[in-house]
Amino acid sequence: MRTLRTAEVPRGSRTGKRRTALALAAALTAGLGSAALTALPATAAADSVKVQYRTSATGATADQVEPWFKVVNNGAAAVSLGQVTLRYYFKADGPDTQYRYACSWAVKGCADITGTFGTLAHPTATADRYLEITFAAGAGTLAPGADTGDMQLRFYRADWQPLRQSDDYSFDGSRTAYGDWDKVTAQLGSTTVWGTAPGGDTPDPTPTPTGPTPTPTDPGPAGATLFDDLTYTSSTDPAIAAHGWSVRSNSGGPGVPGAAWSPENVTFAADGGNSIMNLETSTAGSGESTKQTEVLTKATKFKNGTYAARVKFSDAPKYGPDGDHLVQTFFTINDLKAPMADDYAEYDFEYLPNGGWGEPSDILYTTSWETYRPDPWEAVNQHTESRTSYAGWHDLVLTIDGNAITYFIDGRVFGTHDAGYLPERPMSINFNQWLIDLNGQPGSTPRAYDQKVDYVLHVKDQVLTPAQVAAKVGAYRTAGTAFVDTVPGA
């Protein structure tokens, strides 16, 4: 159990030896000429779609491929996007090269767009792999003549080495504005209605996995998993401890000196058909009157893989005057064995609804820690921040693999941090809500703030997309599974 939070010091000093994230190289200017479109198959007459394509990475080589798409309904009836499948064909840099997919932004929402990789049965000089794009039910339908709007997709080598795209079948560096492109195929159900696959390869409904190493969107067999729907009666429910959680009651930082950590302020209630955990933090303007809340795993057994939680941040107090310098969190952490110990690790989502650490108002941080020294203060971390309100429910996803730490909020990449901050030892999973100080609202009128949590998920050693996280959580809930923990002990 941690006894010191690094955030106790002003944020201005937290940056320390901040390392910059991996920068994308500037795109080269060479490109391929476009090819003439081929006629649509006869099956496309009534219910059909076509694909428009452009790229924002035009070079013969690049740090990542950036195929951007629009799907257009050019038929006479509405089309469910859940029935649509796209394939972008490319030549792998090597037989064992692995790739990772990401969605930077999409009008339809990245959470409803999934990318998986497959291998062609009949490889050609310009294609032996493909990126397959599918849609969840949440993407909705397209009326006749309507399109999806931008889908700004990308993929890159798992080792983050530059890749060659000039020899890729579906790539055309000259296409910097959307236009019809028949070198990407589209299927409605099992019928190909747009485009031509390379070398006569007909898209089949089941992708062929590529290689033994999982990719973020094709994670392979289910990894060891912790899932908790937080279906408990109170902070004293014996199932909480039986499921590996601790509701903090011991004294110590972070937060206002003299504050207590109050298990009774951790409560559970039904909300929208799900059980919700609520962390209430309250104060009447003194350390002795301040009650903070924290829930954490007793085991430090979580390292690489995917971490996810649905969290409701609050800007306004539950009651009383507003303004306190509050921190609402979801994070992983292990203990600092010695000042500047290089095996320390911590990965934070931290929301400050009233500012603090020198910030005047709403700010959300994601921070990856290598190490720190408490006195005199020295920190080695990397962080990303957004100065806007995050009040309300948010899907928070953190992925850690052998190359990077990536933070997602509501299906979109929020920040990617360098391999130099990867964990050396396992960690615990934590939620807490606490007060930095009492300077934001110095009055003695009682007030309280809520932070709610819907579920928590960890999948060991597998990098899942936010869409896959949502699907996995949905499958547990559909099956009536409220808790599972198959993650082995450290």
Is residue 56 a contact partner of residue 174, using CB atoms and an 8 Å limit?
A: no
Distance CA 304, CA 260 (A): 33
Residue 159: the pLDDT is 81
Is residue 485 a contact partner of residue 456, using CB atoms and an 8 Å limit?
A: no
Q: What is the pLDDT of residues 270-316, one digit of tens each?
A: 987 889 999 999 999 999 999 999 999 999 999 999 999 999 999 99
Residue 104: the pLDDT is 86
Q: Using DSSP, how many helices (H) and how many strands (E) does the chain show? A: 2, 31
CB atoms within 10 A of CB 310: 21
Q: Which amino acid is at 246?
A: S
Distance CA 111, CA 114 (A): 8
Distance CA 164, CA 375 (A): 48
Residue 205: the pLDDT is 44
Q: What are the DSSP E strand ranges found in 195-244?
A: 225-228
- Low-confidence residues in the chain, pLDDT < 70: 1-47, 200-222, 490
Residue 202: the pLDDT is 59
Distance CA 266, CA 438 (A): 22
Distance CA 56, CA 308 (A): 30
Tokens of 192: 């190909």
Residue 111: the pLDDT is 84
Whole-Å CA distances, 188 to 47, 203, 293, 453: 8, 11, 50, 38
Residue 138: the pLDDT is 85
Tokens of 48: 């059909």
Residue 402: the pLDDT is 84
Q: What are the DSSP E strand ranges found in 198-290?
A: 225-228, 245-247, 260-261, 266-271, 274-283
Closest CA to 170 of 56, 67, 88, 49: 88
Q: What is the DSSP letter of 188?
A: E
Tokens of 371: 């190490």
The H or E element that residue 295 is part of is: strand 291-297
Residue 490: the pLDDT is 66
Residue 164: the pLDDT is 94
Whole-Å CA distances, 342 to 13, 264, 331, 337, 406: 19, 36, 19, 9, 20
β-pairing verdict for 346-352 and 447-460: unpaired
Distance CA 371, CA 382 (A): 11
β-pairing verdict for 291-297 and 260-261: parallel
